[in-house]
C-alpha cells in the first residue's frame, strides 16, 4: 500500500492518515518551505485519534481519490495531532473563532504561504468540502491581494496581547472573602437542580468548577453548596457518561442529562475526576464516590498503563466503524448473558426492550439507588453490591469479546501529571498501598524517561521522548510532584518540582505582563506566541503555575515565587469576578489567598505516619511537610524533632505546637466573615 510522509510519525492520529491519497505533510520546515517556494495556500487539518468526526471526514474526503487530487494540486496539506502540538491547535482555533466561526475538531484552516490564516472551519461533508477547496483555489489565484490583506488582519489580531485583548490590569486590592463568596454564587446561578452540573448542552463535567465549589463549601462551611457538588458528582457517576462495567469517564454527554456520551475516554478528564471523586468521598463518606475511584483506577491500570508505568493518552469513541459500539447493549444480549437477573439489572440501568438509545441499543444509565433495588430484592445493600459486581463482571467478560476501541498509546507528560495527582488523592482517601506505589512509579517514569537536563518532554512512545514540553506539561507535572511529596515525604519530589519550575520560568515567563507563554518562544518561530488564562477541559496552565508558585514559595521560603503568584492573580482578578465559570482554577487560588494558607509542619518519630493520618480527611488550602530526623526544608527547620508535634503556621509564624491531630485541626481557619 502506498503511503505518504505521515508514515514516519510517532503519532497514531497522523499514522491513521498515512495511507490516504492526500499528499500529507507533518508540520515542519519542509512543508512550509514548499508553500513559500510554490506560492500555494496551506491547508492545516488538526485532530486527534479519538475524534469521531475526524474519522468521518477522513473516510468521506481524505480517502477519496478525486478529493485528494484536488487537494494535492492546489494546496500544501499539513496534518497536525492537536495532542502533540497544543500550541498550534490553540493558535489556529483562535483564528477560526476570530473569523466568527464555530471551533471544534477536525479543525481545518487555510493559510497563506506565510502561515497567516484567512479561512477555516471544522467538519465539512464531502460535497461541501469540494466546494470549499474549489472556491479557495480560485480565490487564491484571482483575489490574492484581498486574501493576503485578510490574513494579515487575522495575524495582527492573533498577536494582540491578553492584557490588551481583555483589558487586564494589576488590581492590588486585598483578596476579599466576600468576593470569593460572590464568585461561588455567580457560578451557581447556572446550576441545574434536576441533573446537577451547569445548565448547558452538551454537558461537560468541568472538574475545576466543582473542585473550587467543594473547597469553598468546606472552608466556608456552606453545607448546602457541598450537597450540590456531591449531587452533581452523583448524577455524573450514575450517567451514561460513566462506564459502569469497566470504570472511567467519557468526555461529555451530548444531552443535558449525562445520558448519551461522546464515547471517547481521555486521560486528562479521568485524572481530574479521580481527584475530585476522592475528595468527595473524604468530604461525604459516601461509598458511591469511593466505588467510582476504585473502578476508575482499575481501568487506568488495566487498560491505559504502559509496561514502564506511564499512562496512554486516550481510547477511541469508535469500534467496528461505529461510535459507542463497544459499550452499548440490546435487551436480548442482556437476557442472554444474565438470564434471571436481567429484570432487576434492567431496572437499575434503564434497559428497554426497544432500546433507550439508537438502533434498539441501550446505554447503561443508573436510574435508581443501590439501596432501593436491594430493598426490592430483600437484600442488605452490602450483599446486593456483591451480587451486582458479580453480574457486572459477567457482562464485562462478554463485552471483552467485542472489537475494542482504538488505543492512542502515546504518553503525554502533562496528562500523566493529572492522573498521578488523582491517584495520590485516591491513596489519601482510601489508603490502598497499591495506589501509593503506582503514583510513585509513574512519577519516576516521567522523571527518568521524559526529563533530560531539567527539560521536560511532552510525548513518549516506543522508548523515546520527543517534542519539548509546553507550559501545560510543566504545570501539571510540577503539581503532581508536589502531590508525590505528600505521600512519600521524600524531599526529592520538591527538589524536582523546583528544577522544573525554574526551567519553566526561564523558557516561558514573560516579564512584560508577568504571565507565562503556552509555547516556548525560543523553540520555534510561530506567527504568534500564545498564553492561556481561561480553563478549558484542562485548567488554565497559567492558573496551575500560579498555584504551584504559591506552594513552592511556602515550602522553600521563596518570597519571589509567592509574590509572582500573587501578581498573576491580581492581573486576572477583574475578569475572574466577571466570568468565574471560565476561570475556576483561578477562583480556587483566589479562595486560597482569601484565607492565609496553613503551613503544616509535622515532626517527631511518627511524623510520616501522622502526615498521612492528617491527609485521610480532605483539608483544602494547606501545605504539608513532615520529617522524623533531618529537616532541610525551610518549612521544617528550627523546630524540635524529639517528640511528635504538629505546627500550624501562617506566613512563617506558628501557633502553639500541639501533640494531637484534633488540636491541630482546631487551629485551621474558616473563610472570614465580612460585613
CATH topology of domain 177-326+406-594: Glycosyltransferase (1.50.10)
The runs of H, that is alpha helices, within 524-606 are: 541-556, 559-578, 584-594
The verdict on whether omega for the bond into residue 49 sits within 30 degrees of 0, i.e. cis, is: no
Residue 588 — pLDDT band, cuts 50, 70, 90?
A: very high
Contact call for residues 600 and 665 (beta carbons, < 8 A): no
Residue 675 — pLDDT band, cuts 50, 70, 90?
A: low
- Average of pLDDT values for 645-667? 95
Q: What percent of the chain has pLDDT over 70?
A: 100
Q: How far is CA 416 from CA 109, 304, 421, 431, 445, in A?
A: 30, 11, 9, 21, 10
**Nearest one of 250, 251, 185 to 224, comparing CA atoms:** 185
Q: Give the separation between CA 65 and CA 313, rounded to whole angstroms.
A: 31
Longest dimension (CA), the chain: 84
- Average of pLDDT values for 446-468? 96
Residue 594 — pLDDT band, cuts 50, 70, 90?
A: very high
- Average of pLDDT values for 250-270? 96
Q: Does residue 445 sit in helix, strand or coil?
A: helix
* 19 pLDDT higher than 90: yes
Over residues 207-245, the pLDDT tens digits come to 999 999 999 999 999 999 999 999 999 999 999 999 999
* 668 pLDDT higher than 80: yes
Over residues 175-215, the pLDDT tens digits come to 999 999 999 999 999 999 999 999 999 999 999 999 999 99
Distance in angstroms between the alpha carbons of the first and the last residue of the chain: 74
Q: Does residue 300 sit in helix, strand or coil?
A: helix
Instruction: Report phi then psi at 401, rounded to 5.
Output: -80, -15
pLDDT for 553 equals 97
pLDDT for 333 equals 95
* 508 pLDDT higher than 80: yes
For the chain, the domains span 5-160, 177-326+406-594, 331-399, 598-665
Q: Report the chain's mean pLDDT, rounded to a whole number.
A: 95
CATH topology of domain 5-160: Glutaredoxin (3.40.30)
* 13 pLDDT higher than 70: yes
* 559 pLDDT higher than 90: yes
Specify the pairing of strand 261-262 against strand 76-81. unpaired
Q: Which residue has the cell 496539506?
A: 77
- Average of pLDDT values for 490-512? 97
Per-position DSSP letters for 331-398, written without gaps between them: HHHHHHHHGGGHHHHHHHHT--TT-SSSTT-B-----S-HHHHHHHTT--HHHHHHHHHHHHHHHHHH
Q: Give the separation between CA 45 and CA 78, rounded to whole angstroms.
A: 6
* 627 pLDDT higher than 80: yes
Over residues 324-363, the pLDDT tens digits come to 999 999 999 999 999 999 999 999 999 999 999 988 999 9
| 3-state class percentages of the chain: helix first, strand second, coil last, to nearest 5 | 50, 15, 35
DSSP state of 247: -
pLDDT for 356 equals 95
pLDDT for 50 equals 85
Amino acid at each position: 500500500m502506498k503511503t505518504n510522509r505521515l508514515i514516519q510519525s510517532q503519532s497514531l492520529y497522523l499514522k491513521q492518515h498515512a495511507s490516504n491519497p492526500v499528499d500529507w505533510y507533518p508540520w515542519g520546515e519542509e512543508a512550509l518551505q514548499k508553500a513559500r517556494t510554490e506560492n500555494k495556500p496551506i491547508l492545516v487539518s488538526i485532530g486527534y485519534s479519538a475524534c469521531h468526526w475526524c474519522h468521518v471526514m477522513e473516510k468521506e474526503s481524505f480517502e477519496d481519490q478525486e478529493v485528494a487530487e484536488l487537494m494535492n494540486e492546489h494546496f500544501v496539506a499539513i496534518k497536525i495531532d492537536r495532542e502533540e502540538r497544543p500550541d498550534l491547535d490553540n493558535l489556529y482555533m483562535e483564528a477560526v473563532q476570530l473569523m466568527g466561526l464555530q471551533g471544534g475538531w477536525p479543525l481545518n484552516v487555510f493559510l497563506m504561504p506565510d502561515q497567516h490564516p484567512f479561512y477555516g472551519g471544522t467538519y465539512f461533508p464531502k460535497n461541501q468540502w469540494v466546494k470549499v477547496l474549489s472556491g479557495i483555489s480560485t480565490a487564491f489565484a484571482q483575489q490574492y491581494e484581498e486574501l493576503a490583506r485578510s490574513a494579515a488582519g487575522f495575524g495582527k489580531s492573533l498577536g494582540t496581547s491578553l492584557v490588551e485583548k481583555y483589558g487586564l490590569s494589576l488590581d492590588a486590592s486585598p483578596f476579599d472573602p466576600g468576593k470569593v463568596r460572590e464568585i461561588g454564587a455567580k457560578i451557581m446561578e447556572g446550576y441545574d437542580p434536576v441533573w446537577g452540573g451547569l445548565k448547558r448542552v452538551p454537558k461537560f463535567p468541568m472538574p475545576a468548577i466543582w473542585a473550587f465549589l467543594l473547597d469553598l463549601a468546606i472552608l466556608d462551611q456552606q453545607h448546602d453548596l457541598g450537597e450540590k457538588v456531591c449531587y452533581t458528582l452523583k448524577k455524573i457517576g450514575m450517567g451514561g457518561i460513566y462506564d459502569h462495567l469497566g470504570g472511567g469517564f467519557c468526555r461529555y454527554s451530548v444531552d443535558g442529562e449525562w445520558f448519551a456520551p461522546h464515547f471517547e475516554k481521555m486521560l486528562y478528564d479521568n485524572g481530574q475526576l479521580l481527584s475530585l471523586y476522592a475528595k468527595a468521598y473524604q468530604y461525604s463518606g459516601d461509598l458511591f464516590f469511593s466505588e467510582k475511584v476504585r473502578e476508575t483506577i482499575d481501568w487506568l491500570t488495566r487498560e491505559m498503563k504502559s509496561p514502564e508505568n506511564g499512562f496512554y493518552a486516550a481510547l477511541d469513541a469508535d469500534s467496528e466503524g461505529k461510535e459507542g459500539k463497544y459499550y452499548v447493549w440490546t435487551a436480548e444480549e442482556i437476557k442472554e448473558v444474565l438470564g434471571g437477573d436481567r429484570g432487576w439489572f434492567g431496572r437499575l440501568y434503564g434497559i428497554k426492550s426497544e432500546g433507550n438509545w439508537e438502533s434498539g441499543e441501550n446505554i447503561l444509565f443508573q436510574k435508581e439507588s443501590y439501596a432501593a433495588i436491594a430493598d426490592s430484592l430483600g437484600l442488605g445493600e452490602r450483599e446486593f453490591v456483591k451480587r451486582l459486581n458479580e453480574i457486572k463482571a459477567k457482562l464485562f467478560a462478554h463485552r471483552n469479546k467485542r472489537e475494542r476501541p482504538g488505543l492512542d498509546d502515546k504518553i503525554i507528560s502533562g496528562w500523566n501529571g493529572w492522573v498521578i495527582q488523582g491517584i495520590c488523592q485516591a491513596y489519601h482517601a482510601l489508603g490502598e498501598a497499591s495506589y501509593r506505589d503506582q503514583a510513585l512509579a509513574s512519577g519516576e517514569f516521567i522523571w527518568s524517561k521524559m526529563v533530560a537536563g531539567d527539560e521536560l518532554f511532552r510525548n513518549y512512545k516506543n522508548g523515546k521522548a520527543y517534542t519539548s514540553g509546553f507550559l501545560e506539561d510543566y504545570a501539571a507535572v510540577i503539581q503532581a510532584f508536589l502531590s508525590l511529596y505528600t505521600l512519600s515525604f521524600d524531599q526529592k519530589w520538591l527538589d524536582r518540582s523546583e528544577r522544573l519550575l525554574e526551567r519553566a520560568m526561564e523558557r516561558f515567563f514573560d516579564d512584560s505582563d508577568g504571565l507565562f507563554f503556552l509555547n516556548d518562544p525560543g523553540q520555534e518561530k510561530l506567527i504568534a506566541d500564545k498564553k492561556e488564562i481561561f480553563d478549558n477541559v484542562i485548567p488554565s496552565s497559567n492558573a496551575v503555575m500560579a498555584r504551584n508558585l504559591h506552594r513552592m514559595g511556602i515550602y522553600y521560603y521563596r518570597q519571589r515565587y509567592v509574590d509572582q503568584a500573587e501578581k498573576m492573580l491580581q492581573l486576572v482578578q477583574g475578569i475572574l469576578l466577571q466570568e468565574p465559570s471560565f476561570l475556576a482554577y483561578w477562583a480556587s487560588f483566589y479562595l486560597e489567598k482569601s484565607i492565609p494558607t496553613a503551613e503544616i509542619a509535622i515532626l517527631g518519630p511518627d511524623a510520616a505516619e501522622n502526615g498521612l493520618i492528617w491527609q485521610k480527611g480532605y483539608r483544602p488550602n494547606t501545605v504539608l511537610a513532615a520529617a522524623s530526623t533531618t529537616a532541610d526544608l525551610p518549612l521544617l527547620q528550627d523546630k524540635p524533632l524529639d517528640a511528635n508535634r504538629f505546627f500550624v503556621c501562617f506566613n512563617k509564624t506558628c501557633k502553639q505546637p500541639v501533640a494531637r491531630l484534633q488540636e491541630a485541626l482546631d487551629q485551621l481557619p474558616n473563610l472570614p466573615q465580612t460585613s
